[in-house]
DNA sequence: CGCACACGTCGGTGGGTACCGAACGATTCA
DNA sequence: TGAATCGTTCGGTACCCACCGACGTGTGCG
């Protein structure tokens, strides 16, 4: 046969994600933070020894990066491109069709659907609203593919997000990411990450449980003003009752 | 735990690509054409019964689409997004480090590195040249993310590639695709596919063995003129000696 | 200094699955 | 109508690997 990229290499990489436990690890790590081996083991419901084995394989395969601190082993996704890969796969995978069983779970799910991080950018209903508002305000444009307009560069700089430094990154400046609750695109890429970070820095948003995000009381009017939206459009759903995991 | 996208769904999808034989099928199908079950079986070196089993799983999993014609079962990648997924995975997978053993293989590989299709768009050195030339000519622009310029829309229309109809597609108009021989981006997305098709229609390029592509004698000066390039820059490598597969 | 904790390593077990050969339907051609 | 080809179904075998429990190592705290 012609010399082609060997199927073994591709299969080996895919095999890393072909186990429910390892896949669960990667989904959990989509919150963009570093987890310890024990946290992941508990989250997946497996023995610590099993989790340790899985993490070693994921790190050797280049999907995860690890950092040892004392007796803890912190792992995180190796790269934004890994996060994109996991997101793309998860977006294509059939919906698990797991209706929430308890009130707590329902509330947590509503909170997740409203706003969450997708590795390092804003997703959920808030993410889609942000995406749409940026288009409406002319910060982004879709005429010839998703791009930032000259006026948008000024607007972003004014907000405290200089665009020039973002070009240095190896990843695309702007990119679509299909939202798996809204089934509509939201903004990813280097700019999506920078905006998410900026909102946190400004105190407009704050991290909740897991990858949940919430709009702060101060953030709601501020964001509405910046995006020329009605604050009512940014109303959150049911109460996020607070922390859960051990 | 919190209700999250179940790891089982992701793992099930990844498992489809986690087998060397199935992965090889998908890589072969990256040429964008439909293959019969028997061709794929021979190409992978497995029994027809084994291949049949694998194909059924890939179709059920939504990665492949099938079409029965008489006693033949034709399969192809279900969707451009599947091709993108496979490309992304293959690009991240470690290089198989398989130096060509025979002269035939070396020649075929050089031909592939020069020009090939990446599912439905132009890749290889020609793909990168095309990408760079489109940027240099101002058809594409990267100032705020990869996009087509207004001048570019006119240029493309003049070439016989109207841009408006391409917006109707569900996929992005323009997209970067990392070339695994050149390690540099080339143009993918709906426009990349349309350009590849147009070049074939114009007779500027022709399909070779597998996913190989070659620039025709008429195509070389025509493409050079359209892109304002020196025809010498488009010189192909060693001879492509012809068909190989049974 | 010694207990508690986090993690890694090492057999052993069980379930999942890739593979083949052989027999069987279906289609096409002579 | 018979023969060749393409594909599928069906056992059966061998192999891989996810999982656990138990034990060992290093860290941090009292």
pLDDT at A28: 94
In-domain check, residue B224: yes
Burial B61-86 (b: 16+ CB within 10 A, else e): bebbeeeeeeeebebbbbbbebbbbb
Mean pLDDT, chain B, integer: 89
Same domain membership, residue B151 and residue B70: no
Mark which of A29, A63, A90 sits at the end of a domain: A90
Interval A19-64: pLDDT, tens: 999 999 999 999 999 999 999 999 999 999 999 999 999 999 999 9
Using H for helix, E for strand and C for coil, what is the string for chain B? CCCCCCHHHHHHHHHHHCCHHHHHHHHHHHHCCCEEHHHHHHHHCCCHHHHHHHHHHHHHCCCEEEEEECCEEEEEECCHHHHHHHHHHHHHCCCCCCCCCCHHHHHHHHHHHHCEEECCEEEHHHHHHHHHHHHHCCCEECECECEECHHHHHHHHHHCCCCHHHHCCCCCCCEEEECCCCCCEEEEHHHHHHHHHHHHHHCCEEECCCCEEEECCCHHHHHHHHHCCCHHHHCCCCCCCCCCCC
Residue whose C-alpha is closest to residue B22's, from B1, B50, B49 = B50
A141 close to B (CB below 8 A): yes
Q: Which two tokens stand for residue B178?
A: 């990392």
Same domain membership, residue A201 and residue A228: yes
B54 C-beta less than 7 Å away from strand C: yes
In-domain check, residue B2: no
Tell me whether residues B98 and A6 touch, CB distance under 8 A: yes
Tell me whether residues B9 and A93 touch, CB distance under 8 A: yes
Q: Minimal Cα–Cα distance from A114 to chain B, Å?
A: 14
Q: Minimal Cα–Cα distance from A89 to chain B, Å?
A: 7
pTM: 0.88
Under the banding of pLDDT at 50, 70 and 90, the label for residue A244 is: very low
Checking each nucleotide's C1' against the CA of B36, the nearest proves to be: D6
- How many CA atoms, within 13 angstroms, populate the side-chain half-sphere of residue A135? 16
- Look at A53-62, B132-141, B162-171 and tell me which has the smallest mean pLDDT: B162-171
Tell me whether residues B62 and A141 touch, CB distance under 8 A: no
B159 close to A (CB below 8 A): no
Interval B171-216: pLDDT, tens: 999 999 988 788 899 999 999 999 999 999 999 999 987 788 999 9
Tell me whether residues A145 and B147 touch, CB distance under 8 A: yes
Same domain membership, residue A107 and residue A83: no
Residues of chain B above pLDDT 70, percent: 89
Same domain membership, residue B226 and residue B107: yes
Higher pLDDT, B237 or A16: A16
Query: Any idea which residue has 């299909």 for tokens?
Result: A178
Please state whether B50 falls in left (phi above 0), alpha (psi between -120 and 50) or beta: alpha
Contact A10, B30 (CB under 8 A): no
A227 C-beta less than 7 Å away from strand C: no
The torsion angles phi and psi of B175, rounded to 5 degrees, stand at -155, 145
Average pLDDT of the residues in A215-227: 95
Integer Cα distance of A12 and A58 in angstroms: 11
A55 C-beta less than 7 Å away from strand C: yes
Mark which of B90, B120, B153 sits at the end of a domain: B90
Same domain membership, residue B85 and residue B107: no
Mean pLDDT, chain A, integer: 89
Residues 79-98 of A with CB under 8 A from B: 81-82, 84-86, 88-90, 92-96, 98
Residue A156, pLDDT > 90, answer: yes
Task: From chain B, pick out residues whose CB is under 8 angstroms from the CB of A45.
Answer: 1
**Containing domain of residue B199, as a range?**
103-234
Mark which of B47, B69, B90 sits at the end of a domain: B90
Same domain membership, residue A140 and residue A80: no
Same domain membership, residue B72 and residue B111: no
According to DSSP, residue A171 is labeled S
Tell me whether residues A96 and B209 touch, CB distance under 8 A: no
Same domain membership, residue A62 and residue A35: yes
Integer Cα distance of B244 and B246 in angstroms: 7
A8 close to B (CB below 8 A): yes
In-domain check, residue B108: yes
Contact A120, A32 (CB under 8 A): yes
Same domain membership, residue A214 and residue A137: yes
How many domains does the structure of chain B reveal? 2
Same domain membership, residue A225 and residue A166: yes
Residue of B nearest to A139 (CA): B144
pLDDT at B44: 95
Average pLDDT of the residues in A201-226: 93
Q: Which two tokens stand for residue A102?
A: 């308890």
B8 close to A (CB below 8 A): yes
Same domain membership, residue A202 and residue A115: yes
Q: Which two tokens stand for residue A22?
A: 């390892």
Same domain membership, residue A86 and residue A107: no
């Amino acid at each position: 046969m012609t010399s082609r990229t060997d199927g073994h290499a591709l299969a080996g990489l895919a095999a890393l994600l072909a186990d429910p436990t390892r896949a669960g690890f990667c989904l959990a790590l989509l919150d963009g933070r570093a987890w310890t081996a024990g946290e992941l083991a508990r989250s997946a419901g497996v023995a610590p020894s099993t989790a340790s084995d899985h993490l070693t394989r994921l790190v050797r395969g280049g999907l995860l990066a690890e950092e040892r601190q004392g007796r803890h082993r912190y792992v995180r996704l190796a790269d934004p491109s890994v996060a994109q890969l996991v997101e793309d796969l998860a977006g294509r995978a059939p919906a698990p069709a797991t209706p929430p069983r308890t009130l707590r779970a329902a509330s947590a799910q509503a909170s997740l659907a409203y706003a969450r991080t997708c590795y390092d950018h804003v997703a959920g209903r808030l993410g889609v609203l942000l995406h749409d508002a940026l288009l409406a305000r002319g910060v982004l444009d879709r005429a010839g593919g998703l791009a930032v307009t000259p006026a948008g560069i000024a607007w972003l700089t004014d907000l405290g997000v200089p665009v020039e430094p973002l070009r240095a990154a190896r990843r695309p400046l702007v990119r679509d990411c299909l939202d798996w609750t809204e089934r509509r695109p939201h903004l990813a890429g280097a700019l999506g990450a920078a905006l998410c970070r900026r909102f946190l820095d400004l105190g407009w948003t704050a991290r909740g449980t897991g990858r949940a995000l919430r709009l702060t009381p101060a953030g709601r009017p501020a964001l509405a003003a910046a995006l020329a939206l009605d604050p009512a459009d940014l109303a959150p759903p049911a109460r996020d009752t607070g922390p859960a995991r051990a």
